[in-house]
Amino acid sequence: MSKVLSEGNLRFDFIAYNTVERFDDVTNHGMKAVDFVFETNDCLYFIEVKDFQNPNASLKRRKEDYDMLTKKETKEHAEFILGMGEKIKDSLLRKYAEGYTFEKRVVYLLFINLDKLGAHERGLLKVRISGHVPTGLNNHKRFSTFTEIVFDLVNANQLKQYGIDCKPVRNTDRETAVEVAMQEADRRYADTFRRLAQ
């Protein structure tokens, strides 16, 4: 399986890992799922990607996203916090349904791509989301083999500490394809106009 995967406008290179699974690509039967799952000798990693820095987003949209992440009194903020907790819970249940035995430490990484979000704001957000990430599953008989669940909210630099490189997708290929298509459309239009003028 490819070690380089794209999510939205971002490309992730799982440098240190051979097997990475895109987890939200299959039918989830109404359940939520994180974007990627991969495994090491001692950990099972779940990664959810939230890109609030997409270059195609308007300034208004970026401000709304920033407010949603930082203003805890809003409905949107509460829904985001709950949603991030639901993603890992549903993903854990799905892995369990697939027969995974959970004998390793589980790490849930929430990657938020938004440079404007400072360390203090990220810290507050991490604390709020932590309250919705399951940590007591090892007390439940169905998940008795859990050794530990760790949650971390990371940016691109912190993601590198986990052996994952993240960069924006280069648009050169896309732009070239669009340019060629537009030139072809212009040529056809000019040909049609010439024929009509005769």
- The larger pLDDT score, comparing residue 58 to residue 18, is at 58
pLDDT at 10 over 60: yes
pLDDT in tens, 63-85: 999 999 999 889 999 999 999 99
Note the Cα 183 to chain centre separation in Å.
35
pLDDT for 37 equals 93
Strand 165-168 and strand 10-13: the pairing is antiparallel
Q: Whose CA is closest to 90, among 141, 32, 132, 167?
A: 32
Beta bridge partners of 152: 109
Give the pLDDT mean for 141-170: 83
Q: Whose CA is closest to 28, among 109, 94, 98?
A: 94
Q: What distance in Å separates the CA atoms of residue 164 and residue 13, rounded to the nearest whole number?
A: 6
What does 45-71 look like in DSSP terms, one character per residue?
EEEEEEE---TTS-HHHHHHHHHHHH-
Asked whether the beta carbons of 56 and 117 are under 8 A apart, the reply is no
Least confident of 29-38, 49-58, 88-97, 136-145: 136-145
Q: Which residues lie below 8 Å from residue 6, measured CB to CB, with a gap of 6+?
A: 12, 169
pLDDT band at 3 (very low <50, low <70, confident <90, very high): confident
